[in-house]
């Protein structure tokens, strides 16, 4: 019988009504006890490194979760992380970089309604997640939610109330859970299990910020950010448009990267990705040293990958190599 470790971190799934609103109070074991037949799937153990609203989840918490996986990796066949939905996509992406090439599944799930709610989605999501974690073909980091299995680097919370809260961005779902069956998607390449040991990392640079372009945003914002941040994820217009503004943006961005900082260019449009070579307003940044292209990656994955890459090295060439190295299907081949 498989052994699965449930890593409970809080979130809506664990919340109960308190004086000032919903707050996480239930433990992972208490949640599992409320899901019928869950204990028939496998042998379950529980650990509770934190019990927080996922709004309060931080990079140092990602490292704590990854360390739990690392320290217990040899004793379990899979892992299920119970997590709030609001920042689940960030944590799933971060774990994809902190635990690479895992032949054992690391599954994140949660719910839109608390476990105690009479119409909750928590029971089915938790059951499906453990079912997927027990499947011998499962591996790497994924999100299991609303009957879909989404690659950990491609998940995005798309809806605030509906039970199908998450969407797989620019990449098909890995599988679907239908009743007691895991139905693998055809034509989706998944990792081969070849006996390799996973690679664990324990360093992140949390001085990374996302900056969304809006009409008339002043290029001087880069000067204001310089004292607190090592990298900016710049969400451009459309397929990669950055305003000219008489050259002010180009000067500000070039100064930023020439100071040794990192700029990642992406698009604020959710689907289909970036191409800086199409329009004049983007081409000046296409091949500039220190400017990295997000292509079709999600912003959540870009934040986590930039933190991970800068946590390993400050050499610009090595940062670029790590950034463009595909991890857990995080970017499509150019």
Averaged pLDDT of the chain: 93
Class of domain 208-324: alpha beta
**Overall fold of domain 3-200:** Rossmann fold (3.40.50)
Catalytic residue among 12, 87, 109, 167: 12
Instruction: List the one residue out of 236, 284, 9, 157 whose CA is nearest residue 148.
Output: 157
How many Cβ atoms from other residues are within 10 Å of residue 319's Cβ? 19
Catalytic residue among 9, 85, 91, 109: 85
Taking only the tens place, the pLDDT of each residue in 17-30 is 888 888 889 999 99
Q: At CB < 8 A and 24+ separation, what contacts does 320-329 make?
A: 320/292, 323/264, 323/292, 324/292, 327/96, 327/97, 327/100, 327/153, 328/96, 328/100, 328/140, 328/141, 328/151, 328/152, 328/153, 329/151, 329/153, 329/154, 329/171, 329/189
Q: What is the rounded distance in angstroms from the CA atom of residue 25 to the CA atom of residue 68? A: 21
Taking only the tens place, the pLDDT of each residue in 278-315 is 766 677 788 788 899 999 999 999 999 999 999 999 99
Q: Is 306 a catalytic residue?
A: no
pLDDT for 67: 98
Mean pLDDT of 304-330: 96
185 vs 99, residue with greater confidence? 99
Confidence of residue 192 (pLDDT cuts 50, 70, 90): low
Taking only the tens place, the pLDDT of each residue in 254-274 is 999 999 999 999 999 988 888
Whether 3-200 and 208-324 share one fold: the answer is yes
Where do the structural domains in the chain lie, given as residue ranges? 3-200, 208-324
Q: State the DSSP string of 294-310.
A: -TT--HHHHHHHHHHHH
Phi-psi sector, 245: left (phi>0), alpha (psi -120 to 50), beta: left
Q: What is the rounded distance in angstroms from the CA atom of residue 328 to the CA atom of residue 189? A: 10
Q: Is 12 a catalytic residue?
A: yes
Hey, which bits of the chain come out as E strands? 3-8, 15-18, 21-24, 43-47, 78-82, 99-100, 106-109, 141-145, 148-151, 155-157, 166-168, 175-178, 181-184, 199-200, 208-212, 231-236, 262-267, 291-293
């Amino acid at each position: 019988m498989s052994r699965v470790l449930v890593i409970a971190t809080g979130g809506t799934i664990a919340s109960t009504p308190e004086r000032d609103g919903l707050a996480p109070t239930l433990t992972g074991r208490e949640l599992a006890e409320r899901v019928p037949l869950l204990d028939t799937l496998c042998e379950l153990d529980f650990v509770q490194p934190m019990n927080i609203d996922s709004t309060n989840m931080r990079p140092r918490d990602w490292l704590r979760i990854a360390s739990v996986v690392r320290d217990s990796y040899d004793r379990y066949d899979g892992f299920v992380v119970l997590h709030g939905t609001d920042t689940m996509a960030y944590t799933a992406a971060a774990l994809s970089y902190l635990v690479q090439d895992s032949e054992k599944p690391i599954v994140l799930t949660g719910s839109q309604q608390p476990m105690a709610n009479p119409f909750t989605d928590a029971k089915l999501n938790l059951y499906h997640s453990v079912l997927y974690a027990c499947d011998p073909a499962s591996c790497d980091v994924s999100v299991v939610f609303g009957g879909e299995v989404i690659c950990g680097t491609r998940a995005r919370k798309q809806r605030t109330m509906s039970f199908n809260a998450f969407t797989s961005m620019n990449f098909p779902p890995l599988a679907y859970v239908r009743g007691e069956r895991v139905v693998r998607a055809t034509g989706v390449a998944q990792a081969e299990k070849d006996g390799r040991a996973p690679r664990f990392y324990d360093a992140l640079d949390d001085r990374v910020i996302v900056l969304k372009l809006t009409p008339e945003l002043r290029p001087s914002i880069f000067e204001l950010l310089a004292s607190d941040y090592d990298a900016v994820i710049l969400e451009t217009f459309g397929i990669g448009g950055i305003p000219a503004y008489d050259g002010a943006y180009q000067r500000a961005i070039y100064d930023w990267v020439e100071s040794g900082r990192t700029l990642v260019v992406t698009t604020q449009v959710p689907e289909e990705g970036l191409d800086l070579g199409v329009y004049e307003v983007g081409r000046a940044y296409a091949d500039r040293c220190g400017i990295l292209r997000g292509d079709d990656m999600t912003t959540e994955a870009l934040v986590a990958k930039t933190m991970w890459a800068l946590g390993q090295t400050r050499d610009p060439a090595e940062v670029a190599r790590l950034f463009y190295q595909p991890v857990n299907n995080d970017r499509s081949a150019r």
